[in-house]
Amino acid sequence: MIEDTPYTKTRSTWQLVAQKMADYRQLGKLRLSLVVVQSAAIAFLLGSDVPPHWAHFAWLVLGGLLITLSANALNETLEVAYDAEMRRTAGRPLPGSRMTRLEAIAFASLTGLGGVLMLWQSVGLYSALLGLGSLLLYAFVYTPAKRMGAIAVWVGAVPGALPALIGWVAATGSFSAMGWLLFALQFFWQLPHFWSIAWLAHEDYTRAGFRLLPAKAPGKWVALQVILWTLPLIPLSLLPHLMGLANTTTTVWLFLFAVAYLAQTVQLWVQCTRRAALLLMFGSFLYLPAVQVVFLLEKYL
């Protein structure tokens, strides 16, 4: 029999703490939240003077991260019964009974309020209001809309694109053309991104009552919709040059990235397979960072 020593008690305590921290990370979808905040950070760098105001940058990243964690926590709190129905989400803290709803709501409230106040006091009122609007739209409009139909994808693309505008406004203090252009690029990027994921997870989503595809099942009509709503990225890639906001080299790269992304959607329409949807999903993971890097290289090189 192993004797219960102070060492084993301490070890057990730290294991419980580690498990609780892991649950909070999963509740707030930390990795996804960091990706979202990345867009705000890059937009801030694009709108800033050289060198940037690093203190404002740090507050923007921290405040934006807290708001995003809050939105995700509220989403999981509201969807706990549906998450329990899906294989990929049944092990989350709430459906897995490792956390109570009250605890999750407390976490979401503290992080959300803290993030909004942080942006307001350290970055600016406009950024704080945009952050608050993004949180509310994601948690209380997009979340219930997921059971209504494909309109949810359009609704969710708004708070998904707002970080780019938030970062630009935080740096410039204004809602200028480049900020809205970054918003538009991120908005339309999300449509094929969302639908490729919904294609792959269709069986799981259907089990939980989520309706994210613009049809009852994956097929030619869905793929056609994906093509049509990726097309706007082509003119949007040319617009910065026409507006005097990007040089020719940047514009060529933006155009090529958009064409490559569109080609993957056409491949989905031709093949209508899970493999094509998977390739499109991975392509979506590459498109947005590639666009952001090209803009950064033009500004800082």
Domain harbouring 33, CATH code: 1.10.357.140
Q: Whole-structure pTM over 0.85, yes or no? A: yes
192 in the same domain as 98: no
Q: Are residues 300 and 188 in the same domain?
A: yes
Question: Is 56 a domain residue?
Answer: yes
- Give the residue from 127, 142, 170 where a domain finishes: 170
User: How many structural domains compose the chain?
Assistant: 2
In a domain, 91, yes or no: yes
Q: How confident is the model over 25-69, as pLDDT tens digits? A: 999 999 999 999 999 999 999 999 989 999 999 999 999 999 999
- For residue 5, what pLDDT is reported? 58
Same domain, residue pair 166 and 52 = yes
pLDDT tens digits for range 196-253 = 999 999 999 998 899 899 998 999 999 999 999 999 999 999 999 999 999 999 999 9
- Average confidence (pLDDT) over 121-127: 96
> Based on the domain organization, do 180 and 225 belong to the same domain?
yes
Closest CA to 43 of 184, 140, 157: 184
Q: Are residues 201 and 240 in the same domain?
A: yes
92: containing domain = 22-170
pLDDT confidence of residue 19: 87
* 85 within a domain of the structure (yes/no): yes
For range 70-84, the mean pLDDT: 95
Domain end among 170, 204, 238: 170
Best CA proximity match to 67, nearest among 159, 152, 154, 190: 159
Q: Residue 130: pLDDT above 60?
A: yes
Q: Phi, psi (5° rounding) for residue 39?
A: -65, -40
Q: Do 191 and 122 fall within a single domain?
A: no
pLDDT at 274: 97
Q: Is residue 9 pLDDT above 70, yes or no?
A: no
The reply to whether 225 falls in a domain is yes
- Look at residue 248 and tell me if it is in a domain: yes
Specify whether 97 is located in the same domain as 234.
Answer: no
Determine the longest span between alpha carbons in the chain, in angstroms: 77
User: Are residues 80 and 205 located together in one domain of the fold?
Assistant: no
Same domain, 31 and 110: yes
Residues 151, 268 share a domain: no
Q: Within a domain: residue 8?
A: no
Q: Looking at 140, 170, 200, which one is the last position of a domain?
A: 170
Residue by residue, DSSP assigns 223-248 as HHHHHHTTTTHHHHHHHHHHTTSS-H
pLDDT in the model for residue 2: 46
Mean pLDDT of the chain: 94
Residue 123 lies in a domain: yes
- 295 contact partners, CB below 8 Å, separation of at least 6: 42, 46, 246, 250
CA angle centred on 37, ends 162 and 259, rounded to 5°: 65
Whether residues 209 and 265 fall in one domain: yes
> What mean pLDDT comes out for the span 82-102?
92
- Say yes or no: 231 and 147 in one domain: no
